[in-house]
Structure 1
């Protein structure tokens, strides 16, 4: 009769716990704010003046902009340079910064899995053994004791604190993915920039070498003319001065070329002595006739730094939910099944509990944590909005630069045309006996200087086209991330691989 009542009591207790758990699950909710994406920017233009000017560019050789257009492929293919495509691909595969960012994403994904594990039952195993003495006087006895068995606990996450932690971890993983995209965009943009700088330096070096050759020829002619009395020492000094001045142009250009070459090696994950990039020339690039320009409202959906700021905002929103849930009770179920022995007796013990615990007085700590999380959210919102404003400003700056580049290139074209006309007339005059050879050489020198200016103007157009693609967000590196978990990167294959 006693056993029947005991079993009935256990069944009643078990039913009460299960009923309470069911009620908690049915009535459970997630406290804290549900994240809402920030509203799109109200800006309809980056810079209305520059956009209007670039819509129909009259200058030959200057690109216009194609509004509300998107780059369907990798953005650097706009320049139609197979050499550039090859070096960019090598950099994507070999750059150490991208490999580190990729590993950080894997770490963030594991943090999501770790946070999600709290929603599953927690099963543990315990065992203990010992020897004990019980009783007093002649009734004392010594025996071996042991207990072994599993235990299970489960937090019902009544107010969604765990789910908010998962949401926060997911947002932080998104943050790392967007940071990878930013690094991917930086690397590819820097490769294109350094390749153009390399090509520009080589072109300018060639033009300056021609200029120096003309100066030396000029000096030789003046020196010869002085022997016959048709030139003075002042003429020789002037020719020497021109040669010396033009020779100073060469070392900075050679340094620019070498720095760009070394930068391309480093971007590809190679030492400058281990890998040399191809000899880029300006002829390897084609300036796009029309540059894609997305709308300001789309900038926040494609630019990595804005998306990263939004991910931080999302994580801050979830953190408010976590801090709010910490102020409410936690309902936890736990149970254990133990095989135990004390002396000669062996038996099976089990228990099942439902526990409800919540704060009553904590000195204001939890409330302060909640307010602090709300303040952090406000700070993240301000940083997000500032990031958007900065991005709009950067695109506006590049659009103005492209507009000014068009004017500069047109002016350099006119200067080169004028110099070539002067050279042609000087050559015709020399043939007719109306001009000296020095006049022809000076005209050649002026043409070489105009050619250097035109190379610099064209370089500016290429570089600002790269800057526009980068400022608009380019294209993400998602394809590079499509690997199996813990798959060795292209950098580590054949050397060392990550341990699973």
Structure 2
């Protein structure tokens, strides 16, 4: 794996010392040549006079800051997007025709992929859900939060300024001035003035922190895309589920009507003495059994309607209006399919895993920067004064200019252990990334096979339904002619009912797998 270049702590120390020495030598040579050329160059003359005008302390401070600036670097690995190793085909054989559907290779998935089903009702629900869904709104706010955290971390690169202000009353004790018998009356005082501080990001710890925040913001962006894809997919699948349940209810109602006709037919036959009481009871039992299936289907319909209302962000008071029919959907004839190598740049879950990997890489740089010194410059200017009546010998102005350097010397192995832990976290994130890519590849592969089998099953279910329908017609005619008994009619009717429900289920499954293919390809979020 080439995503992390190796880091050796001692080698980096040697590199830093070498850079420091080289910078000092360059500074000395530049100073020498500036003194030689100042008579010919106005710029050199101005710079030389400016430096000579400064006090030696300021000259040293400016030289120190300049040297540090020349030596600044960003430790840690520079992130490189991984290149997942994926096959060039999703299936072992070329699969491009699924009955009336066929695959168009390298066709881009549309962002509004649901419009391929040509359902005006579904299009309207999608617009409503995208605007009002609470989960999607929460993800948008999380993304806004992540972007603000990026801005907050970028502020660390700039000097920090503030104002100090205070007021108090003080009295000195006799022991303050030693043996001198000096007494100062209690006095009130005030102080006010600006302060500033600046952290020199010599080793890039702050920049790596900003890099991490940007990666996390990108992660939230892809999570929002994933939530958008999940929402639109759930709206489509739930709408299709409602249509499927409604189709099952309609089929079951037709079956119940046929049961009632059979019962009437058998009762007439019983009246004329052609059928027995047992035949009548069998027909009544068949009718009752089919009627018991309706309540559970209505319950499923009610639950699906409420789930859709939640997705739409509405109060479930008008569930009766959320009724769909399978005929409202048109099965897309042309399905998009891109190369497996492009899948990693399309799916939001893969891109989110890559952003998480980037954040883990930045964590290595942050942990590495903690091994090196931290330099902070601070300055304070105070205007001080006392309430009238106090001694006038107190200075009205005070200032301070400090340079603070902290460097780890001994931490019991904590810092190095934290760095090693960040490397292990990166390796873990990389493994998770590879697994997500692998699962995405096989998900698309499974759906391609599923669509192929859906087309085959739908054709067989249609054939079985037509055969069962013809068998039922013949059984009824034979029963009327007295050739067969009532049991043959009931068996034929039961087979026809099962074949009709099987056809509805096969039709719905084909729609569902088509929706899942659009989702598995990324839903056109990243063309």
**What residue ranges of structure 1 are gaps of 5+ in the alignment?**
1-6, 479-500
Q: Indicate the SS of the match to 2:55.
A: helix
Q: In the alignment, is the contact (CA less than 8 A) between 2:305 and 2:319 conserved in 1?
A: no
Asked whether the 8 Å contact 2:111–2:523 carries over to 1, the reply is no
**SS of the counterpart of 1:43?**
coil
- Residue of structure 2 equivalent to 1:139: 182
- Return the match for 2:75 from 17, 24, 31: 31
User: Deviations 1:218-239 (Å, cap 9, x if unpaired)?
Assistant: 1122122112210012322332
Match of 1:331 in 2: 375
What is the distance in 2 between the residues matched to 1:154 and 1:316? 27
Q: 1:434 to 1:237 in 2, by over 3 A?
A: closer
CA shift, 1:435, in A, is: 7.2
Cα displacement string for residues 227-278 of structure 1 (whole angstroms, at most 9, x for unaligned residues): 2210012322332232233223323322222221111111111221256553
1:390-444 per-position Cα deviation (integer Å, ceiling 9, x unaligned): 112222222222111111101011112323444666788899x697897888767
Aligned length: 465
User: 1:370 aligned to 419, 436, 453, which one?
Assistant: 419
- In structure 2, the partner of 1:485 is none
Q: Distance in 2 between matches of 1:118 and 1:234?
A: 89
User: C-alpha separation between the residues in 2 aligned to 1:257 and 1:214?
Assistant: 23
Distance 1:73 1:303, change over 3 A: closer
How far did residue 448 of structure 1 move?
Answer: 4.7
CA root-mean-square deviation: 2.7
Is residue 167–residue 318 contact of structure 1 (8 Å, CA) maintained in 2? yes
Contact map agreement 2:283 2:490 (CA 8 A) in 1:
no
Verify the 8 A CA contact 1:87 1:277 in the aligned structure 2. no
CA contact (8 A) 1:17 1:353 kept: no
For the 8 Å contact 1:184–1:477, the answer to whether it is kept is no
SS at match of 1:70: coil
1:171 to partner: Cα distance: 0.8
Q: TM-score, normalised by structure 1?
A: 0.86
Q: 1:359 Cα shift?
A: 1.1
Query: Is the counterpart of residue 86 in structure 1 residue 130 in structure 2?
Result: no
Equivalent in the alignment of 2:36: none
Where do 1:342-353 residues align within 5 Å?
343-344=391-392, 345-353=394-402
- Name the counterpart of 1:482: none
Gaps of 5+ in 2: 1-50
For residue 111 of structure 2, what is the aligned residue in structure 1? 73
Distance 1:132 1:367 in 2: 51
**Equivalent residue for 1:497?**
none
| TM-superposed deviation, 1:153 | 0.8
Matched, 1:189 2:236: no
Q: Find 1:233's aligned residue among 277, 284, 294.
A: 277
State the alpha-carbon separation in 1 of the partners of residues 190 and 442 from structure 2. Answer: 73
Name the SS for the 1:374 alignment partner.
Answer: helix
**Separation of aligned partners in 2, 1:297 and 1:138:** 89
1:262–1:254: structure 2 CA closer, same or farther, 3 Å change rule? same
